Structure 1
Amino acid sequence: MADDARTITQKQWRQAELIWEYHRMHHGVRTCDVAIALGCNDIGVAAHAAELYDAGLFPALVFTGGNSPSTAQVFPRGEAVHFRERALELGVPDPVILVEPEASNTGQNITFSRRVLAANGIVPATVLLVCMPYMERRAFATARKLWPEVGVVCASAPLSLGDYVKEIGDAGLVIDMMVGDLQRVMEYPKLGFAIDQDVPGAVRDAYESLVTSGFDSRLIQG
């Protein structure tokens, strides 16, 4: 696999696949009281949320997200606004959708969405988190920390790493993002942002190897 700037070796690809599978929670998707679709640079999240609505899995849907340095050019009016528009194009009824346009990180996605739901008289017992495939574990750990009283189910497009890279068009960027998310899974519990998640030794080894190989553009510094 290669992108415009880097060639990914077979070993690196296997390491990336290991991390990809770790990030995915492999939850059995089920009916929930609400869905929250987390803003990001992948409009496919909105499309998958629309598919899940069509399947009858929830009656209300929150799109959450403002802008970040990586999404401002792609979604100039904010992630949640663009995601809502895509869902409407795909047939989700407007009254079903709530928009939370301010969040700039995953913790705010959860906290601000909870606030929007409460303002609309919705206090869910179960929440379906819809996000990018490699964001599932971090989203789960964050929600369990900040909203422990709700049952959390994670959902993302059922794609292999290879298929996802084809959609995004940049293998190096996807690996960088996965590595960055894994660092956050490991480090954020120490900061009180998320619950602890067990990280198998093989996954840690893959992470360290990929960081050493230069897949580090999305790491938190300091």
Structure 2
Amino acid sequence: MLTAGDNGPVESQVDARTRELARIVWDHLVLSEPLSKADLILALGSHDTRVAVHAARLWHEGWAPLVVVSGGRGKVTSDWELTEARVFGRVAREHGVPERALLLEETAANTGENITASRRLLEERGVAVGRGILVAKPYMTRRALATARRQWAGVSWAASAPELGFEAFAEDERQFIELMVGDLQRMVVYAERGFQVPMPVPAAVWAAYEELARLGYDRHVIR
């Protein structure tokens, strides 16, 4: 596979076996559920602004009256000039979400804080939430749900993501795989620590994670 670099096309360093393993992890992590009308759309900040575009689309479709974008700076966005929330907010406004329907949470540095900080913000503003829609990158949906169902258990949550396939993340394929490997490990470790509800990982998926980690895709693995 060829990807565009500063000096023209360069050959990807991800081989066929690595991509096969990554697809196994992807297939487990991606979890989309039917949506119901909700009180808010909570867009989880990241480096991928397509999440904000999708949140705006859901707002236009009438799934919820309020869009909350949450994110300070995380492991991939630590060098951004603006917070993830400000960037996502700008994108949401560019896609037609008005200020009255948009709320920014600018402190969260991880998924758990996306939930807990947004919860505090809405409680401070007296906004009651009984049902919510989490919007995240496709491979973050399962862990986002597991986290929200623990950290904001009184809300009925569903997850939604931009309609992107595995190939849509080929521009920086190594980083994409490293992030998925870290997220899958957290599905197990964070459940054990009580940070999110348990969601069992099939043996074949865990074996793919272990092989990817051995191959060096362990940048975001908890040591």
Q: Compute the displacement of 1:182 (Å).
A: 0.4
Q: Compute the displacement of 1:5 (Å).
A: 8.4
Deviations 1:23-79 (A, max 9, x none): 111211332111111111111111111111111111001111111242033x31201
Q: 2:154 aligns with which of 149, 153, 173?
A: 149
For structure 1, the 5+ residue unaligned runs are none
Which residue is 2:29 aligned to? 23
Q: Compute the displacement of 1:7 (Å).
A: 2.1
- Please say if residues 42 and 132 of structure 1, whose CA atoms lie closer than 8 Å, have aligned partners that are also in contact: yes
Deviations 1:117-142 (A, max 9, x none): 12222111111000111111111111
Query: What is the TM-score when the length of structure 1 is the normalising length?
Result: 0.92
Structure-2 separation of matches of 1:65 and 1:26: 22
Greater Cα offset, 3-12 or 178-187 = 3-12
Query: What is the TM-score when the length of structure 2 is the normalising length?
Result: 0.92
Which residue is 2:126 aligned to? 121
Q: Compute the displacement of 1:2 (Å).
A: 6.4
Q: 2:174 aligns with which of 157, 172, 175?
A: 172
Letter in 2 for 1:197: M
Secondary structure of 1:36's aligned partner? strand
- Please say if residues 32 and 161 of structure 2, whose CA atoms lie closer than 8 Å, have aligned partners that are also in contact: no
Structure-1 separation of matches of 2:166 and 2:130: 32
Which residue is 2:7 aligned to? none
Q: 1:217 aligns with which of 202, 219, 222?
A: 219
1:68 and 2:74 correspond: yes
Q: 1:32 aligns with which of 31, 38, 41?
A: 38
- Please say if residues 98 and 116 of structure 1, whose CA atoms lie closer than 8 Å, have aligned partners that are also in contact: no
Structure-1 separation of matches of 2:116 and 2:32: 24
Deviations 1:78-112 (A, max 9, x none): 01011101110111111000111111111111011
For structure 2, the 5+ residue unaligned runs are 4-9
Q: How does 1:1-222 map to 2 (within 5 A)?
A: 1=1, 7-73=13-79, 75-165=80-170, 169-221=171-223
Secondary structure of 1:218's aligned partner? coil
- Please say if residues 2 and 170 of structure 1, whose CA atoms lie closer than 8 Å, have aligned partners that are also in contact: no
Letter in 1 for 2:210: E
Identity in percent: 37
Q: Compute the displacement of 1:164 (Å).
A: 2.9
User: How many aligned positions are there?
Assistant: 217
Structure-1 separation of matches of 2:161 and 2:115: 17
Secondary structure of 1:170's aligned partner? helix
Secondary structure of 1:154's aligned partner? strand
- Please say if residues 38 and 129 of structure 1, whose CA atoms lie closer than 8 Å, have aligned partners that are also in contact: yes
Alignment RMSD, CA only?
Answer: 1.5
Secondary structure of 1:76's aligned partner? coil
Greater Cα offset, 62-71 or 200-209 = 62-71
Secondary structure of 2:17's aligned partner? helix
